[in-house]
Amino acid sequence: MMLNVAVIGCGYWGPNLVRNFNSLSECEVTIACDASNDRLLHMQKLYPHLKTISNADAIFSDEAIDAVVIATPVQFHYELALRSLKAGKHTFIEKPMASSVAECRELLDLALEQGLTLMVGHTFVYSPPVKKIKEIVDSGDLGGIQYVSSRRLNLGLYQKDINVAWDLAPHDISIILYVLNDTPVSVNCQGKAHISRGVEDVCNMTINFSNGGFCTIQSSWLDPNKIREMTFVGEKRMLVYNDLEPIEKIKIYDKRVEKPPHYDTFADFHYSYHYGDMYSPYLKQFEPLKEECQHFIDCIKTKSKSISSGLEGLKVVQILSAASESLKQNGAAVSIGDLG
């Protein structure tokens, strides 16, 4: 059965979603919606068959539309997703899922009640490097993960309605939750607003996990260099993921610190440092966004749970909300609470 898809929001990311959904054999984007006439004219030039509208009302009342894809600014996610689900449409929301935990929970409950697929655009969990990292971590090749460090820095793009943590950190948070499969319990976050009052453009976040592990995430719109790097430090080996590398995006270092045995004497303790080889595993190349779009269609057809389901979207927003509260409290630890 061919599924009819409508895309709301044709700005920065929406056209990429239209392109990828149209490339799939099981669905077709039939309607694109945006408030800008210029954006709609651009979409019509790219896809002459596409119906373009400036008001989303017609999408929700159109019984021929099976699924709605929302790629608008975050402030509109909840209202549009709520209307989509109430209209009986399967719903895909770009990250972050909504502006608050309460909004996410309401959308989750409604999707469950209606028996609809609700999915969030955590694109990186569909990428070859992140899939490989999870495979490596799950295999135990790195040993127990001691901590994760992530840096996502660049100059701009400044947002008006959300700070840099809400804009950039969802990528890192979704990757960390996917790879570690552990429960975060609290967040510390500090940041500063240098350009727009009240909108932090530099943030440092620490996520503490139930097993005692922790992750640090540095996000910035105010850095001279574009950096997309994550480091997973294990007991046996260390892994560096640099998404800007053209080929060797993952490098595994056979490095570790070995703790000396305990002696009941006054002898000095000597830590030993192990330095071994570095290798870069082969990565099968495919476009993560196409994989994500295909996954959404598959979940609709098979009624299976997505790896970036509404529940995963809720978890990310819970962490972001705790980070926002920590910012207000000058970096104090804020409990995330129950992620279920």
Tens of pLDDT, residues 73-83: 999 999 999 99
pLDDT tops 50 at residue 110: yes
Mean pLDDT, all residues of the chain? 94
Q: Could you tell me which of 6, 84, 81 has the C-alpha nearest to residue 47?
A: 6
Query: Which residue, among 238, 170, 183, 243, has the nearest Cα to 212 in the 3D structure?
Result: 183
Look at residue 261 in the predicted model and tell me its pLDDT.
66
Assess contact for 59 and 83: CB atoms under 8 A: no
Q: What is the pLDDT of residues 241-276, one digit of tens each?
A: 999 999 999 999 998 787 776 655 555 566 777 787
Domain with 187 in it: what CATH number?
3.30.360.10
Closest-CA residue to 77 (of 55, 111, 100, 53): 100
Quick one: which H or E segment has residue 70? Answer: strand 67-70
The pTM of this model reads 0.93
- What average pLDDT does the segment 180-186 reach? 93
Regarding whether 275 and 145 lie in a shared domain, the answer is yes
Quote the pLDDT of residue 256.
79
Please name the helix (run of DSSP H) or strand (run of DSSP E) that holds residue 324, with its range, or none: helix 310-328
In a domain, 148, yes or no: yes
Whether residue 326 is predicted with pLDDT greater than 80 in this model: the reply is yes
- Do the domain assignments include residue 308? no
pLDDT at 231 (0 to 100): 98
Question: Considering the domain boundaries, does residue 165 fall inside one?
Answer: yes
- Domain, as residue range, for 160: 125-288+318-335
- Of 116, 133, 160, which closes a domain? 116
Domain count, the chain: 2
70 plus 219 within the same structural domain:
no
193-245 pLDDT, tens digit per residue, is: 999 999 999 999 999 999 888 999 999 999 999 999 999 999 999 999 999 99
Assess whether 144 and 245 both reside in one domain. Answer: yes
Domain check: are 198 and 272 in the same one?
A: yes
Q: What is the pLDDT of residue 340?
A: 44
Report pLDDT for 339.
43
* SS3 per-residue string spanning 7-55: EECCCCCHHHHHHHHHCCCCEEEEEEECCCHHHHHHHHHHCCCCEEECC
112 with 181, same domain: the answer is: no
**Host H or E run for residue 119:** strand 118-121
Distance, in Å, from the CA atom of 292 to the CA atom of 297, rounded to the nearest integer, reads: 9
